[in-house]
Amino acid sequence: MRNFLVPILLLIVLVSSTIAADLIDESPTALKLPGLHNVYRIGEQLYSGSGPESDEAFAALAQLGVKTVLSVDGTATDVERAKQHGLRYVHVPIGYNGVPRDAALQIARAVRELPGPFYVHCHHGKHRGPAAAAIARLCLDEQCQVDQALNIMQRAGTDPRYAGLFRSVRDFNRPSEVELKQAAGPLPATVKATGVKQQMVVIDQAWSHLKMLQTAGWKTPVEQPDLTPAHEALQLFESFKELARLPDSASRGDDYREWIAESLRSAEQLEAGLRHERDNTQRDDALRAISERCAKCHAKYRD
């Protein structure tokens, strides 16, 4: 009898080890999905990547089996389009400086109370989204260790300069049932950003479009016929102008306001160059100057 039990016990150990390894899933797997980029399968119930912005992208998520889309981006979510593809949205906007505890509790509640699988995203799927996905993984799987959660961010390409995002995951404490109960309330499908956050969202969108247009030789891409270079430069200019008007900008340092003012002038030069079809080198120089100032500002005030 004893000899008969030994192989059974070995089989149970092997099966248990296989299940545990699949649950932990130490190496997120990169996926290629239409309309999306930087997509990773983090576990059986969890994916992360860029924000879906087309029917093609939402259809790809539905085909993948996703039921709930969790956005931590600042921009408003496309709730109606998600519904058309049988997907539910939860919106928990966060910044680049970390995941506040109240936001982490909303993420925890979403992945524990709503149907999965889950798709977590920010705009590009590289920084805020992977940090939120790492926290979601820690909440979904109690066997997941902190170093495995941090690996999610590293695999997605999260910039180490965003120390607050890494710190939020490294120091994350799984919420107790009591804490989750106390945090009970609606999980909003969309949250409208205001102030600096809202302007940063608009700037980020205009910046992404301008980089795409630059790659296309400052011509409207065939796949994005609604994008025109001068218009996107104008959007960037107006966003910097609005950012400079905000009370929060007035309360920050002289260097912050000067960087905004210089970026405003560069955006104005960029728009003029695009409208009058000046040399591409001048356009590239203007965009590079804005990028350098944004990097300085982010390093001091956001990272």
Class of residue 209 by CB neighbours under 10 A (exposed 0-12, middle 13-18, buried 19+):
buried
pTM of the predicted model as reported, rounded to 2 decimal places: 0.67
The domain in which residue 117 lies consists of: 20-182
* Overall residue count recorded for the chain in this entry: 303
Instruction: Please state the rounded mean pLDDT for residues 61-71.
Output: 97
Q: Decide if 188 contacts 250 (C-beta within 8 A).
A: no
Please indicate, yes or no, whether residues 177 and 255 belong to a single structural domain of this protein: no
Give the total number of structural domains in the chain: 2
To the nearest whole number, what is the mean pLDDT of the chain?
85
| Residue 212 domain-assigned (yes or no) | yes
pLDDT in tens, 145-159: 999 999 999 999 998
Higher pLDDT, 76 or 262: 262
Q: At 263, which CATH number?
A: 1.20.120
Beta bridge partners of 70: 90, 120
Please indicate, yes or no, whether residues 130 and 108 belong to a single structural domain of this protein: yes
Distance of CA 219 to the CA centre of its chain: 27
